[in-house]
């Protein structure tokens, strides 16, 4: 029987090198960096139209952080993706445990599918070329191999790991033996690899049968496998999500697919699990830093790229990105400027990889901008913290059609709501009533209340909070259709 094809989307990255646009609470895979779709949506839809030897793909398994579950569910729904299985990691443990719990979940269904593991933050421009490579990888995985997609290099790149490959005797040029994995090289070594012609970039894309992956983990990292088996044995359903047991998963060692398995060739040879590479020349990039995004965007004759409300004068090879106001550049060369409502980045494009050090410094100083945007997404919609001062805070709140906030109360703050657009259903103590545009209501400290949108258009309100403490953790929930306890946002 032909194995099914099971896409596995690894969606746990933090994307710190694309700060301030990408932050822990809303990282790059959830952003629309080019075009209208997010990177997650592009990844999930990438398998559409796959033909040839591989069967039509099953609905995806998505592995993501617990805090991102509602963002993932919403973006899949907007992309028209139904019946996805969303696995929630209570903590990030890198890609090897993520793929292992996905393999266990896949085997809990029927059959032993080929897993096609794809990070959610990659860009692939040439879908027909990707589909052709995926077909080769599927065929090789059906025969028992662990297959990695090796990117055909077009430059001497020092930011990627490499694989030294050769064509095995009597085998096709579409499938290569891997002689050696090579860490990120210096420029001289990268130039030598490019000239040699038998080195590929290590992409982080894999194809392997679910049972074969578990066999590889048993041979290479039984400690990770044991923790993942226990986590999935006691997994529970929560709405549309699957929650591995938190204690078991938190005890799991963290490791990448490459370090845990792919680079342990002698161990894999001993259990007769071959490792192969399929060359991929499909306009691939992992959008790891601002320079990579600049290279993907349309550019003018001077090499400049702009996003949003941006103007340039006398600039070259520069990226200007605006999200909320006009950004103007004069006489810049090789510079990145990224504007968000609460932070602005100005960087030499050649040093864009070092943005992660800024994020580390912000975390050390407990800056909220390290991980949170001013605009915060919730399962019911989003809010934007417009202003804050001593004993007050002003928010713009947008509630999706048919959605509602939890029934809650606050010990330290009162709230005044003004409806700007739509119709609001208000629960205020023992009363429930409707408010239309330009109408308002007041929620005293300590009173149970709820806000809902009974309409078919988004509801928008302005909320003015007042009190001696305005933190998001001052929420006592009595009822929540999204299953969130009091301490969880």
pLDDT of 183 reads 87
Residue 303 lies in a domain: yes
Residue 136 pLDDT grade (very low, low, confident, very high; cuts 50, 70, 90):
very high
Which residues constitute the domain of residue 454? 375-479
Statement to judge: residues 198 and 100 lie in one domain: yes
Residue 352, pLDDT > 90, answer no
pLDDT of 138 reads 95
305 backbone dihedrals φ, ψ, rounded to 5°: -125, 140
407-409, strands of its sheet edge to edge: 431-435, 424-428, 449-452, 407-409, 476-479
Residue 75, pLDDT > 70, answer yes
pLDDT of 168 reads 57
As a whole number of angstroms, the distance between CA 164 and CA 82 comes to 39
Whole-model pTM?
0.90
Mean pLDDT of 436-464: 97
Residue 425 lies in a domain: yes
Statement to judge: residues 260 and 298 lie in one domain: no
Do residues 86 and 240 lie in contact, with contact meaning Cβ atoms separated by under 8 Å?
A: yes
pLDDT of 167 reads 64
Residue 169, pLDDT > 60, answer no
Residue 465 lies in a domain: yes
Residue 489 pLDDT grade (very low, low, confident, very high; cuts 50, 70, 90):
low
3-state secondary structure of 75: helix
Residue 484 lies in a domain: no
Mean pLDDT of 355-359: 93
Statement to judge: residues 33 and 108 lie in one domain: yes
Residue 488, pLDDT > 70, answer no
Statement to judge: residues 62 and 14 lie in one domain: yes
| 425, containing H or E segment | strand 424-428
Residue 216 pLDDT grade (very low, low, confident, very high; cuts 50, 70, 90):
very high
pLDDT of 175 reads 85
Q: Which of 400, 372, 377, 474 minimizes the C-alpha distance to 69? A: 377
pLDDT of 166 reads 82
Residue 69, pLDDT > 90, answer yes
pLDDT tens profile 372-415:
899 999 999 999 999 999 999 999 999 999 999 999 999 999 99
Mean pLDDT of 241-268: 94
Mean pLDDT over the full length of the chain: 93
Do residues 440 and 418 lie in contact, with contact meaning Cβ atoms separated by under 8 Å?
A: yes
103 backbone dihedrals φ, ψ, rounded to 5°: -65, -40
pLDDT of 473 reads 87
Residue 487 pLDDT grade (very low, low, confident, very high; cuts 50, 70, 90):
low
3-state secondary structure of 223: helix
As a whole number of angstroms, the distance between CA 92 and CA 373 comes to 20
pLDDT tens profile 315-344:
999 999 999 999 999 999 999 999 999 999
**Residues counted in the chain:** 489
Contacts of 292 (CB under 8 A, 6+ apart): 285, 286
Statement to judge: residues 338 and 249 lie in one domain: no
CATH code for position 226:
3.90.550.10
Do residues 104 and 234 lie in contact, with contact meaning Cβ atoms separated by under 8 Å?
A: no
* Beta bridge partners of residue 418, listed in sequence order: 440, 462
Statement to judge: residues 159 and 56 lie in one domain: yes
Residue 487 lies in a domain: no
Residue 65 lies in a domain: yes
Statement to judge: residues 392 and 304 lie in one domain: no
Statement to judge: residues 117 and 14 lie in one domain: yes
**For strand 5-11 and strand 61-65, is the pairing parallel, antiparallel, or unpaired?**
parallel
Statement to judge: residues 90 and 226 lie in one domain: yes
Contacts of 226 (CB under 8 A, 6+ apart): none
As a whole number of angstroms, the distance between CA 182 and CA 200 comes to 10
Q: DSSP assignment of 16-82, as one string? A: GGGTTTSBTTB-GGGS-SSSSS-HHHHHHHTTTT--TTSPPPPSPEEEEEGGGHHHHHHHHHHTT--
Is the bond into 462 cis (omega within 30 degrees of 0)? no
Q: How far is CA 12 from CA 87, 119, 385, 426, in A?
A: 11, 8, 26, 36
* Beta bridge partners of residue 163, listed in sequence order: 181, 200
As a whole number of angstroms, the distance between CA 263 and CA 254 comes to 16
As a whole number of angstroms, the distance between CA 283 and CA 252 comes to 35
Statement to judge: residues 297 and 431 lie in one domain: no
Contacts of 460 (CB under 8 A, 6+ apart): 396, 397, 398, 399, 419, 420, 421, 422
Statement to judge: residues 400 and 441 lie in one domain: yes
Number of folded domains in the chain?
A: 3
Q: Which has the minimum average pLDDT: 168-177, 231-240, 427-436?
A: 168-177
As a whole number of angstroms, the distance between CA 486 and CA 302 comes to 53
Residue 139 lies in a domain: yes
């Amino acid at each position: 029987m032909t194995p099914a094809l099971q896409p596995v989307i690894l969606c746990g990255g933090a994307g710190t090198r694309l700060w301030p646009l990408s932050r822990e609470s809303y990282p790059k895979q959830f952003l629309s960096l080019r075009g209208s779709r997010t990177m997650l949506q592009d990844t999930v839809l990438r398998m559409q139209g796959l033909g040839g030897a591989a069967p039509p793909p099953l609905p995806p398994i998505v592995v993501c952080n617990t805090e991102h579950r509602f963002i993932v569910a919403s973006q899949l729904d907007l992309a028209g993706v139904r019946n996805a299985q969303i696995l929630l990691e209570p903590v990030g443990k890198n890609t090897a445990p993520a793929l292992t719990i996905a393999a266990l979940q896949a085997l809990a269904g029927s059959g032993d599918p080929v897993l096609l593991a794809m990070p959610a933050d990659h860009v692939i421009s040439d879908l027909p070329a990707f589909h052709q490579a995926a077909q080769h990888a599927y065929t090789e995985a059906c025969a028992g191999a662990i297959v990695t997609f090796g990117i055909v290099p077009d430059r001497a790149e020092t930011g990627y790991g490499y694989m030294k490959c050769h064509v095995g005797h009597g085998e096709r040029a579409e499938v290569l033996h891997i002689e050696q994995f090579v860490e990120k090289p210096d420029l001289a070594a990268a130039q030598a690899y490019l000239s040699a012609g038998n080195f590929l970039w290590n992409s982080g894309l894999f194809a392997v049968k679910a049972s074969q992956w578990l066999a590889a983990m048993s041979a290479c990292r039984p400690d990770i496998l044991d923790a993942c088996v226990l986590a999935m044995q006691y997994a529970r359903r929560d709405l549309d999500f699957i929650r591995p047991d938190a204690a078991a998963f938190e005890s799991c060692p963290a490791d990448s697919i490459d370090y845990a398995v792919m680079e342990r060739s002698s161990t894999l040879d001993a259990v007769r699990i071959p490792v192969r590479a399929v060359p991929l020349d499909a306009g691939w990039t992992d959008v790891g830093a601002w320079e990579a995004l600049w290279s993907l965007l349309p550019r003018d004759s001077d090499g400049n790229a702009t996003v949003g409300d941006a103007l340039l004068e006398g600039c070259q090879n520069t990226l200007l990105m605006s999200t909320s106001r006009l950004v103007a550049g004069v006489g810049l060369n090789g510079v990145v400027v990224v504007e968000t409502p609460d932070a602005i980045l100005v960087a030499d494009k050649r040093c864009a990889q070092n943005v992660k050090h800024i994020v580390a410094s912000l975390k050390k100083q407990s800056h909220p901008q390290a991980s949170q945007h001013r605009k915060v997404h919730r399962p019911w919609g989003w809010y934007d913290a417009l202003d804050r001062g001593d004993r007050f805070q002003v928010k713009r709140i947008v509630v999706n059609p048919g959605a509602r906030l939890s029934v809650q109360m606050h010990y330290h703050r009162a709230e005044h709501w003004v409806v700007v657009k739509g119709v609001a259903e208000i629960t205020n103590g023992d009363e429930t009533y409707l408010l239309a545009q330009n109408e308002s209501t007041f929620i005293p400290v300590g009173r149970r209340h709820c806000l809902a949108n009974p309409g078919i258009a988004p509801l928008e309100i302005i909320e003015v909070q007042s009190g001696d403490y305005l933190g998001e953790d001052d929420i006592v929930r009595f009822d929540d259709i999204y299953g969130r306890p009091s301490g969880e946002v």
